[in-house]
Structure 1
């Protein structure tokens, strides 16, 4: 009888052990996002959307966010690298804006100091004006730019950002010296939107997702998108005779000093999140195009982007 009880107890213990082992484990406990921009912009949207998708996909228990705007995200990047070394649950949002800012400002801390995890999506850019603006089309905007380059103020992301590059390329296409453009940088999409809506700048540049609510409400007039085809039925630059096609992209890096196994766990968690219905709904809502690339391949892409954007910025007289 005692032997049977021992056998039963062992069987129950073994069954419980198997049940515990089979229980789903979170890849990370509480994922911590560093967002190198003030609330309301593309970096902010990216970090919070990915965090929500990771929680919804069951790869993270919870997500927290720290906004630290300035210098195209490099201030936040520096804090991230210095304070989260070895933290396997930390991510920093990056993108073409940060790559351009690094090429422009040459900060001591760059993406080389962090761990590449994943490129997430591409974002079409849009040029807008306040609804009350007398400028009705890109033709009107370029005409004013040619007549007096300084009279057209462009509101967008930080100096050297993809927004800044776009303004320079439009000027160049219009036969205007890009070095003469009047570019007004902002630390976040919320500040840029407020400046455009208030009529403090002539035109605004951002990802479509950032300005789309204002376009749909009639507070902003969309002049053009930078994609090959129309987005949200907004005419492209090319169909208006301006031979410019350019995209923003965003992704995430992990902290320095994490192990290969921790890096793989983060990559797997992010990929799993991008497969979730929550993430797919976010892409559709914001007109974001899936652009997934992970690990070392992502690192090589960033290296090529640094060279490409750096060359353009030097041509525009923004970077040395």
Structure 2
């Protein structure tokens, strides 16, 4: 009996030691296994209907339908070019959180002098890039991009352009068109009557209601209206014609030396653990590698621009510097 008791004590001790040393159960181990993601929340820093919203909801649908996570609810936090959502991310305590971001937010941080910056978050991945398209209502007097730009140069504030948030990709493209037309930074600022919106749906309503002379946004936000004939596309901002708008000329073809694509990606909260960062990169990589995601890219006309972790962080730093210089050149920031 004494020998049997000693054996049982030794066995129990061994189990206890093994349990304490297991990385899966040690909260301080920092292992990826301990940070397995079953539920993921997605923040869309814009109102419903725009490209960020489409990206977030497409991610949610694909992640859950492919069984990569159990749930991925989407929360819209619109305002100020995404900087309201960025402030929310800065205060987020759940490490298994992703916020959709992109070129629009880079510009908005600068034009809004936002307290919270993208560089202070945890970059996870760049996912896609998309060309912009310049559109007009179906009965517009503008037949070409040159017609529109010439009218802005001649009549300035009388010509309204609408698109996404102030300082975002759409606003930048409008400024670059006027710069290519020969206006300086101060002249661009005084001539350009740009109506910003917090969501793509608002811009669509302004254009369809003939309350804006033209609109600029990602192709995915306007393509159904172009296909339906309620909008006419004047030009796309990619180097080559877009696959889903093959008959629409590029801005370069129209005589303006501009190529601009709008990238989108995801950020995580500040100061998350390495294990949580790696787990988020892993689940987003699995998303990108899925056939369902590839089908979504083809359907929506999004180009794959996948980049993760440190490479994405380096890209983001470079993009912030480039956009800041452009915004200064076209007079959108001092």
Normalised to the residue count of structure 1, the TM-score between the two structures is 0.89
- Structure 1 residue 218 corresponds to structure 2 residue 229: yes
Deviation at 1:197, TM superposition (A): 0.7
- The correspondence of residues 1-320 of structure 1 with structure 2, limited to 5 A, is 27-82=36-91, 84-85=92-93, 87-176=94-183, 177-179=187-189, 180-231=191-242, 232-233=245-246, 234-320=248-334
Please give the alpha-carbon distance, in whole angstroms, between the structure 1 residues aligned to 2:324 and 2:65.
Answer: 38
Q: Cα offset for 1:257?
A: 2.8
Instruction: Check the 8 A contact 1:26/1:61 in 2, yes or no.
Output: no
Residue by residue, what CA displacement relative to the aligned partner does 1:241-274 show, whole Å, maximum 9, x if unpaired?
1111111000001122321011101001001001
CA-CA distance at 1:52 after TM superposition: 1.6
SS of residue in 2 equivalent to 1:240: coil
Change (3 A) 1:27 1:55: farther
Larger Rg: 2
Q: How many residues align?
A: 295
Dislocated runs of 4+, deviation >2 Å: 24-27
Paired residue secondary structure (1:238): coil
Provide the rounded CA distance (Å) in 1 between the counterparts of 2:188 and 2:298.
34
What whole-Å deviation, never above 9, does each CA across 1:183-214 have from its counterpart, x for those lacking one? 11001001011111111111100000010000
Structure 2 residue matching 1:119: 3-state secondary structure: strand
Please say if residues 55 and 63 of structure 1, whose CA atoms lie closer than 8 Å, have aligned partners that are also in contact. Answer: yes
What is the rounded CA distance, in whole Å, between the counterparts of 1:100 and 1:152 in structure 2? Answer: 23
1:150 CA displacement: 1.6
TM-score (norm 2): 0.85
Determine if contact 2:135/2:235 at 8 Å carries over to the other structure.
yes
Give the drift of 1:287. 1.0
Residue aligned with 1:206, SS: strand
Q: Name the one with the larger strand percent.
A: 1
Segment of structure 1 superposing worse, 45-54 or 172-181:
172-181
In the alignment, which residue of structure 2 is the partner of 1:21? none
Shift of 1:152: 1.8
SS in 2 for 1:28: coil
Report the CA distance between 1:109 and its aligned residue: 1.0
Cα deviation for residue 51 of structure 1 reads: 1.5
**Farther off after superposition, 285-294 or 175-184:** 175-184
Secondary structure, in 3 states, of the residue corresponding to 2:142?
Answer: coil
The CA deviation at 1:216 is: 0.3
Deviation at 1:89, TM superposition (A): 1.6
- Gapped regions of structure 2 (runs ≥ 5): 1-32
Tell me what 1:13 maps to. none
CA offsets 1:159-180 (integer angstroms, 9 cap, x no match)? 1111111000001111233212
Is the contact between residue 57 and residue 272 of structure 1 (CA under 8 Å) also seen in structure 2? no
CA deviation vs aligned residue, 1:123-175 (integer Å, no higher than 9, x gap): 11000001021111112112212221222211011111111110000011112
The DSSP-based 3-state class of the residue aligned with 1:29 is coil
Give SS of 2:70's match: strand
Structure 1 residue 57 displacement after superposition: 3.0
